[in-house]
Each structure stands twice: as structure tokens, then as C-alpha cells.
Chains A and B, each alone.
Chain A
Amino acid sequence: EVQVAESGGGLFQPGGSLRVSCAASGFTVSSNCMGWVRQAPGKGLEWVSVIYDNGQTYYGNSVKGRFTISRDNFKNTLYLQMNSLRVDDTAMYYCATIPLAGTEYFQHWGPGTLVTVSS
């Protein structure tokens, strides 16, 4: 069974950094496309980042240059490194699987990890 589970959220200061993780089971992260989607409190869904099986990466305009998506093949884990945090990065962060490069809809989702950016 395909499962993903996020971790690493918490309270962080503006300008700070954190890395959220997404542990996968039932499939191999390195052989699949995956992505991050976030939802700010009271707001809608916002795409954050995608990584292809070949390592190619894509970012939403609001996080480009600040966030980096990566993966650890041995740990079968996806990561999102978040730098230069802003208050408007406060959101629930979800990782999800993508079935195939070129068909970037989000198939299997984790329960999310809450990131709060506040001084």
C-alpha cells in the first residue's frame, strides 16, 4: 500500500530555515515523481514544488529561490528545505505522489505537517 507521512513542522521565526520530511512506504521515492502542496489557514490549496523521477525540479513563484525539494534514496524520503521563511509561509504542508511526469496531479497524500512562521 502506498503511504506517505510528513514531519518536521513546528514554530519558526521569520528569516529562519527548516526542513520538512516525507517518509514513503509501498513505493520507491527515487523512481517516482512527487510534490509538495500547502494550505494556509482559512485559504485554498497552493502548489509548492515537484520533483521528477529524473531529478528535474519545479517551484511555485512564491517559493522559488527560497525552497529546495530533494530526496534521500536510502531513506526513501522526500524533503523540502525552506529558507528565508516569511509569515505567509505559515501553512499545512502536504507531500503527495504524482503518477507520471507530464501528468502532475496529486494521487496519494500524507496527513500534512503544520509550519507556523511567527515572531
Chain B
Amino acid sequence: EIVMTQSPATLSLSPGERATLSCRASQSVSNSLAWYQKKPGQAPRLLFYGASVRATGIPVRFSGSGSGTDFTLTISTLQSEDFAVYYCQQYKEWPLTFGRGTKVEIK
């Protein structure tokens, strides 16, 4: 199975700062990569699919990039509502696999 590795595990930042999250696949997934935001007590929220296609309603301060094995989620200017856990997921091959997540916390 394709292993998705996210780094760092935790990112401590202040509102207004830039967040850069990494997701690496153990083999190429082309651009079959999605990003989700997860807050406690809430359902996950789709942010990006196709590595860089913003889902409906996602603010432009969020951007996704990469292809093959290396992907990046960037939040240009952190807002208070952006502090959450972010997961990547590949859908290139079965079984579908998620990374372990990156927690973006308030510094």
C-alpha cells in the first residue's frame, strides 16, 4: 500500500503567519491527492483534490501544490479558524490511504 507521510506532526504558529505543510507519498500518486481540514467535534472538510484544485468555498489563502510524491499545503496568512489538523489522502491506488496529519496549533 502507498504510505503517506506528513510533516511536521505539529506546527506552532501565530495568527497572520504563513503555514507550510508537507505530504510525501511512498510512490508516485501523480496528482491523485486530496487535503482535508479536521476540527474537534466536526466532520472533515475537503480543501483540495487533484493536488491543487480548491474545493468549493475554500478561501484563497489556502493553496495546494505538487505532483508525483511530494505535495504541499500552504496557508498564506493564518486566521483563527485555520487552527486544526490537516490530512492528505491519496486516491491513486487501493487501498486509499491517509497521512497521519499535521496539527496547526496556536503558538
Show the binding face of A for B, using Cβ within 8 Å. Answer: 37, 39, 44-47, 50, 58, 60-61, 94, 96, 99, 103-107, 109-112
Contacts and interface: CB of A to CB of B under 8 A. Distances in A.
Contacts of B85: 44
Contacts of A37: 44
| Interface of B (DSSP majority class) | loop
B96 A112 contact: no
A103 B30 CA distance: 12
Interface stretch (B14-22, B65-73, B98-106): B98-106
B95 A110 contact: no
B83 interface: no
Given A105-B46, A106-B46, A111-B43, A44 B99 contact: yes
Nearest to B48: A105
B96 A104 contact: yes
B98 A106 contact: no
Given A45-B36, A50-B96, A105 B43 contact: no
A109 B45 contact: yes
A44 B34 contact: no
B87 A105 contact: no
Contacts of B89: 45, 47, 105-106
B95 A106 contact: no
Nearest to B100: A44
User: Which of A37, A45, A47, A60 has the most C-beta atoms of chain B within 10 angstroms of its own C-beta?
Assistant: A45
User: Which of A39, A50, A105 has the most C-beta atoms of chain B within 10 angstroms of its own C-beta?
Assistant: A105
B98 A112 contact: no
A105 B98 contact: no
Given A44-B101, A58-B94, A103-B91, A94 B43 contact: yes
A26 to B, nearest CB: 14
Contact of A106 (B42, B44, B99, B100): B44
